[in-house]
Chains A and B, each alone.
Chain A
Amino acid sequence: MVEFFQHVVNGLMIGGIYALMGIGLTLIFGIMNVVNFSHGEFYMLGAFGVYTLFTMLGLPYLAALLLTGIIFWFFGSIIERLILRPLQHQAIDVSMLATIGLSIFLSNLALIIWDPTPKDIGMPFPLIGVEIGPITLTPIRVFIFVAAMLLILGSHLFLRYNRFGKAIRATFQDREAAALMGVNTGLVNLVTFSWGTAIAAIAGGLLGPIFQVFPTMGTIVSSKSFAVVIAGGLGNFPGAILSGLLLGVAESLGAGYVSSGYRDAIAFILIIVVLIVRPTGLLGKARRLG
């Protein structure tokens, strides 16, 4: 039983990051109708950003994380402005191809800048396990989980109560009607994409210290994020959070009790099960298309 709780806690910590990756991806899809295949590369670049700022330049970890977020906010705006905006009236597969190209370009760019050798970010917090009852926690994992939850909560509050957040939701529901009501939908796209990029980069920077940083680290995270988004219902914000946490726990329990070999398959088993049982996603509602 003790082991079970430890697996659940471990799963929630990783699941928090899956959820964070998932909400960015799901909103970009929901609002911009863009399937962003370069999401995992933003995650990878974020980890390299923190590696450069924290490990190489010696900035405090929190400052490095924040600065990475800001840098990638602007990076996201540039990508949106130069690549996605010109394609926004094209069919969905055109922008999809563009993001696939971008992801290949970015991972190879990282290969050139930082070389393929895995990098160690180093521990921003002391690496001591704290025993809470039968469960062991480390400060870094708690920090990762809390930071992920705060970012998710912050995004939720922004979308719910902020005036611009409301404009984003209005665009999400009906782009044309929102535009007619005076919402600047171009700006909505720009902010959504920049914000999605920034939180993916921060997610990379958060997980970087406990793993290693290398140019191909985004690939597997990218496919997991898609699993989260599809299982949660395309464009569904709470669905992405729920399925992200669920995936983390399912992976942890699966690797612990079934077989380590199936660990990465669990995400895709989850998609298949959800699509069979609830084709619109965990929390998905039937949605008007087009």
Chain B
Amino acid sequence: MAKKMSLLSTLLLILGLLLSACGGGSATQAAPTEAQPAADTKSESPTAAPTVAPAEPVKFGVVEPLTGPVADSGSYVINGMNIGIDKINAEGGVCGRPLEAIVMDGKNDPQESANAAELLITRDQVPIIMGAWGSSSTLAVMPVMERHGVPLVVETSSSGKITLPETPGFAWTFRISPMSAMEAEASEPYLVSKLGMTKVAVLSVNNDWGRGAAQVFKEAIERQGGKVISEDFIEQSATDVLPQLTKIKNSEADSILMTTSAGQIATILKQYVELGMTQTVLTTGGSNYPIAVMGLSSKEIVEGTYHLVFYVPERFDLAGDPELAKWYLEEYKKRGLPEVGLGESYRGFDGVNVVAEAFKAVDCKADPVALQQALPKVTFKGLSGTVAFKERDGHQSRPNIYLVQMVDGKMVVPDFQFK
């Protein structure tokens, strides 16, 4: 009897370890199982679009966090991407062939993301990849792209380092998301004069993104005569920020500049309200979609906070293509996708359209070098302005950056930023 029981528990143990290989194990083991569901959903798209003739699909790779602390953000990007793929395929695909994504989980972990990219290139032989969400992950993926000579379209990362010529993999990297410096530049005219951020406490996630944003915003604030009086960096998984907030509350800070994901911003704001703080709050980085922050906290908690965003769903006039923006919002709602994910989903949509345009430019040949040559010339009127790699030697696009404020549970775009 005892023997049977220990056998049972051993089996449970093995089962547990096997499951962990799917969820938390190494990417090489995890890869096939995780890529499976994504491939399944994608294989339905040709049937959804009867106009597409059965042809060899045009494949590209995607590395996004599907598990871990920012798994929600990764899934939103994928949602937007799927809308993009379905639209492209419904309109005849690229060069008459259906577009197909092979999605892998990078967990927003640099090592896992690099492994995922490696596998996409060597196993699936994709000629182009979109990813890898976080700056630290993207920076880890870039050398892999360079080694294999495959271009990368970066849809989310904000760190300035990514499009610096001396960064390994720069030649193969094309970024549609703005650099933190672009956010600082766009908001500089009103940080001090309109938001009154003269004594600023910086609270950032401790990675390339958070540290990079802290640096460029500090410079912008100082240029305008304000000053940064404290800088705190917290882990991506940190939940209790009362110590940092207590310190800020008791300092002379009149405002807090936050750079981290929507989930962590929600946690910080809850504790900010708990302490009865009154400092002006500005969040940056574009993974701070205020509706998502509200979904993870409440209307009262986000009231009055400011956020820098790259996509304002209801303001079609601000998009690169107002008609497309209107269609996208309707389609997103029609699919019953979570509203909290809308703010990040546009990245996947704009990103996949850039990939499709690049394919069209090379007659859909799976030729990474030709794609690399074609990408600097690609333009796409999307949801966040017009994508065109005009800066940093043809590797960086300049999308929309707008300041929004949460007023009564709604995003309001203050007029002063339009001069």
Q: Using CB atoms and an 8 Å cutoff, list the residues of chain A in contact with chain B.
A: 2-3, 6-7, 10-11, 14, 82-83, 85-87, 89-90, 94, 97-98, 100-105, 107-109, 111, 116-118, 120, 122-123, 127-129, 131, 136, 138, 140-141, 210-212, 214, 216-217, 220, 251-256, 260-261, 263-264
Question: CB < 8 Å: which of A87, A138, A211 contacts B6?
Answer: A87
Residues of A within 8 A of B266 (CB): 120, 212
Query: Given known contacts A3-B246, A98-B9, what 4 new A-B pairs fall within 8 Å (CB)?
Result: A98-B13, A108-B16, A260-B244, A261-B235
Smallest CB–CB gap between B43 and chain A, Å?
22
Q: Is the CB of B19 within 8 A of A104?
A: yes
Residues of B within 8 A of A216 (CB): 24, 68-69, 237
Q: Is the CB of B235 within 8 A of A264?
A: yes
Q: Say if the beta carbon of B234 comes within 8 Å of chain A.
A: yes
Q: Is the CB of A116 within 8 A of B71?
A: yes
- Give CA–CA (A258, B263) in the complex, Å: 26
Question: CB < 8 Å: which of B1, B12, B14, B72 contacts A83?
Answer: B12
Q: Is the CB of A118 within 8 A of B233?
A: no
Q: Say if the beta carbon of B324 comes within 8 Å of chain A.
A: no
Question: CB < 8 Å: which of B69, B250, B297 contacts A214?
Answer: B69
Q: Main SS of the interface on chain A?
A: helix
Question: CB < 8 Å: which of B1, B232, B243 contacts A10?
Answer: B243
Q: A104-B16, A105-B15 are in contact. Are A6 and B240 (CB under 8 A)?
A: no
- Give CA–CA (A103, B300) in the complex, Å: 37
Residues of B within 8 A of A136 (CB): 274-276
Question: CB < 8 Å: which of A141, A214, A255 contacts B274?
Answer: A141
Q: Which of A82, A136, A140, A264 has its CB near the most chain B CB atoms (within 10 A)?
A: A136
Q: Taking CB as reference atom, which chain A residue is nearest B247?
A: A256
Residues of A within 8 A of B273 (CB): 127, 129
- Give CA–CA (A48, B2) in the complex, Å: 33
Our count of residue pairs bridging A and B at CB distance below 8 angstroms stands at 153
25 sampled A-B residue pairs with Cβ under 8 A: A6-B246, A6-B249, A6-B250, A86-B2, A86-B5, A87-B9, A100-B13, A104-B17, A104-B20, A117-B75, A123-B298, A127-B270, A127-B274, A127-B298, A127-B300, A127-B301, A128-B276, A136-B276, A138-B274, A140-B274, A212-B267, A256-B243, A260-B232, A260-B233, A264-B235
Question: CB < 8 Å: which of B4, B24, B276 contacts A129?
Answer: B276
Q: Taking CB as reference atom, which chain B residue is nearest A258?
A: B243
- Give CA–CA (A83, B2) in the complex, Å: 10
When each residue 72-116 of chain B gets 1 if its CB lies under 8 Å from chain A and 0 otherwise, what string results? 100100000000000000000000000000000000000000000
Residues of A within 8 A of B374 (CB): none
Q: A216-B68, A255-B243 are in contact. Are A105 and B75 (CB under 8 A)?
A: no
Q: Say if the beta carbon of B67 comes within 8 Å of chain A.
A: yes
- Give CA–CA (A117, B263) in the complex, Å: 9
Smallest CB–CB gap between A211 and chain B, Å?
4
Q: Say if the beta carbon of B242 comes within 8 Å of chain A.
A: yes
Q: Say if the beta carbon of B23 comes within 8 Å of chain A.
A: yes
Residues of A within 8 A of B8 (CB): 82-83, 86
